[in-house]
A and B are shown apart, each in its own frame.
Chain A
Amino acid sequence: MTTLQPASPPNAQARGRLAVFNPTIARITARALFGRLRFLLLLPLPVLVVGLAVLTEIAGVRTSDWVDVVVLGLGLTVVLPVLALIIGNGVLGTEIDDGTLAHVLAKPLPRREIILSKLAVAVGVTTVATGVPLALTGLIAGSSRLAVGLAVGSFVGSLAYCAFFAALSLLTRRPVLVGLAYILIWETLLQSILDGTRVLSIYQYVRTVVDRVADSELVSSNLSLAVALSMTFIFTVGFTLLAIDRLRSFAVVGETS
């Protein structure tokens, strides 16, 4: 005969506090992220940025020229959003696709706690993966203030991009495709044609933050710092709240459905 003993009761104190971060979720999310092969594909991008900076500097290209192309054109325009897309989608979208999210959903946890824990991992990983190589390029350009600016910009960009791309995982079945369309069509193509889209572009906020922190002639920007920061706040908080709400109504369907 199988005997059953009651499990230990839940911790009443833990239950009562306002939970915003769950270390268990964060740990498993991070392990899943680093364990995925797709993640290794991201390494060449930051390496490419640093490598190009070194090569152009050695080749004697004018610093302002290669900063414009390598740091702003490649680093901030491509590497930061693409890494945030893969990582932001990786902490949530892949668990939706492979069905492992159901384990977390079947727990008496506020959905806020699940989203915030996963976003913390995504923002942390994206900030390190992009901030470190970009700061290195700042140092190669000979400006430690530019290095700090790029690191801060990477963090600000990670916040807004990760919140946006994580929310996309819950809003569409093709989050990577929609995310790429945002990066390539909205941020890159339309920005060069339509001036007005600037206020709705995370890239512009990042560029503005980098410009103000670095206080360098190598970077210029078109938005005021107040606009850039408040828009980043609105993007981050708005998409985080949207993700939390979508997760509350997330439908887990069976394989045959």
Chain B
Amino acid sequence: MSTLTVPAGSAGESLGSVAPTASGSPGTGSVVELRGVTKWYGNVVAVNDITMTLGPGITGLLGPNGAGKTTVLHMMAGFLPPSRGEVLVGGQPAWRNPSVYSGLGIMVEREAVHGFLSGWEFVLASAKLHRLRNPEAAARRAIELVDMVEPMHRRMSTYSKGMRQRMRVAAALVHDPAVLLLDEPFNGMDPRQRLHMMDLLHAMGDAGRTVLFSSHILEEVEQISGTVQVIVAGRLAASGDFRTIRRLMTHRPHVFTIRSSDDRRLAVALMGLASVAGVDIDPKGGLTVRASDYGTFTRELPKIALAEQIRVQRLVPADESLESVFSYLVGA
């Protein structure tokens, strides 16, 4: 089991209060706090009156592209001033306050690294810029955490997107921050790397770190536990326990189009399922199935097909736009 304590002094003068304690007096649970935060660019409102608090553990910031996730994250990271409201990290304003970074790790979405640096040089430079006492050991540890030891001496320009993502995560957590903010960390990772990363983020969350990651792909965060904040069109649309949201996600109604070796027989069999609300037979071939429960239907279809000896040639989920999923979540 991982035990993680903030080493004395590592959180810096300003973030001393952030260090999670076992006793934890009431009211000290929130590490990142947004109070009535609004951000506009010219006359475009990117973030509209968001109030949220993040405590130790893992939190997902979900929402479709352009919802304002990056803007929220950048305000938490002290990269942008809020137009109105307050953004506090460890009780301190994040804007124009570089000292917050001794307890804060950030990975921005924009994938900009000096390609001429090796992964090792990149993470080591981060450790040195944090003025860690033993930068080599810290860099080594961070690279081990993201499982990038083997290719660490290669130039970063030769890395795949997933490898670069992991090295950037290593650089963000090299100083073992109390707060870790990751913008779309799973981008470009294959399923195995994604699982590994989730494992790592969970370990950090379990150890009392405040971990926030953003994602616009609901399915890629299904294995994450913890809380989520859903942002749609600049507003906080939903927030709460991830399992509840995940249940809503898997039990959402959905439309599929299916082609099979025997559409009519499959239609009859599917109508017997409780998770199917309706089946249309297309005269030109194929079925349109309205499932009342995405999760149950996708599990039961193969069983039915097998029992009926019907070959399913194509299964296409219709209406898979993220916006429709999110708007369903918001409506629920």
Contact = CB atoms under 8 A, between A and B. Distances in A.
Interface in B70-120: 70-71, 74, 77, 79-81, 96, 98-102, 104-106, 108-110, 112-114, 116-117
Contact of B81 (A98, A110, A251): A251
Nearest to A100: B112
Interface residues of A, number: 43
A100 B108 contact: no
Contacts of A44: none
A248 B95 CA distance: 9
A22 interface: yes
B238 to A, nearest CB: 22
Contacts of A192: none
B7 A254 contact: no
Contact of A32 (B71, B81, B114, B207): B114
A100 B10 contact: no
B130 interface: yes
B200 interface: yes
Contacts of B74: 252-254
Contacts of B114: 28, 31-32, 100
Interface string A1-20: 11111111111101100000
Contacts of A110: 98
B275 to A, nearest CB: 36
A7 B124 CA distance: 13
Given A10-B130, A99-B110, A257-B46, A32 B116 contact: yes
Contacts, number: 154
A108 interface: yes
Given A24-B128, A106-B77, A254 B112 contact: no
A10 B175 CA distance: 8
Nearest to B104: A106
A254 B39 CA distance: 13
Contacts of B200: 2
A12 B133 CA distance: 8
A104 to B, nearest CB: 7
A4 B131 contact: no
A7 B8 CA distance: 11
B176 A6 contact: yes
Contacts of A98: 112
Given A252-B74, A253-B80, A257-B41, A4 B110 contact: no
Interface in B187-201: 196, 199-200
Given A10-B175, A106-B77, A108-B101, A2 B145 contact: yes
Given A4-B203, A4-B207, A9-B9, A254 B176 contact: no
A11 B132 contact: yes
A109 interface: yes
B4 interface: yes
B212 interface: no
Given A100-B113, A248-B96, A7 B175 contact: yes
B117 A8 contact: no
B219 to A, nearest CB: 21
B141 interface: yes
A22 B105 CA distance: 20
Interface string B163-183: 000000001101110000001
Contacts of A6: 4-7, 10, 176
B12 interface: yes
B169 to A, nearest CB: 12
Query: Main secondary structure on chain A at its contact with chain B?
Result: loop
B4 A10 contact: no
Contacts of B128: 24
Nearest to B142: A7
A114 to B, nearest CB: 9
10 contacts: A2-B196, A3-B2, A7-B142, A8-B134, A105-B98, A106-B101, A106-B105, A255-B109, A257-B41, A257-B70
A9 B79 contact: no
A111 interface: yes
Contacts of A7: 7, 10, 127, 132, 137-138, 141-142, 174-176
A99 B2 contact: no
B1 interface: yes
B267 interface: no
A102 B105 CA distance: 12
B41 A2 contact: no
Nearest to A250: B79
B13 to A, nearest CB: 9
Given A24-B125, A99-B110, A252-B80, A8 B137 contact: yes
A60 interface: no
Contacts of B2: 1-4
A4 B132 contact: no
Contact of A103 (B126, B137, B183, B196): B126
A15 B114 CA distance: 26
Interface in A235-257: 248-249, 251-257
In the A-B complex, the 4 residue pairs with the closest CB atoms: A99-B112, A254-B70, A252-B79, A8-B134
A102 B46 contact: no
B101 A107 contact: yes
Contacts of A48: none
B204 interface: yes
A257 to B, nearest CB: 7
B124 to A, nearest CB: 9
B66 interface: yes
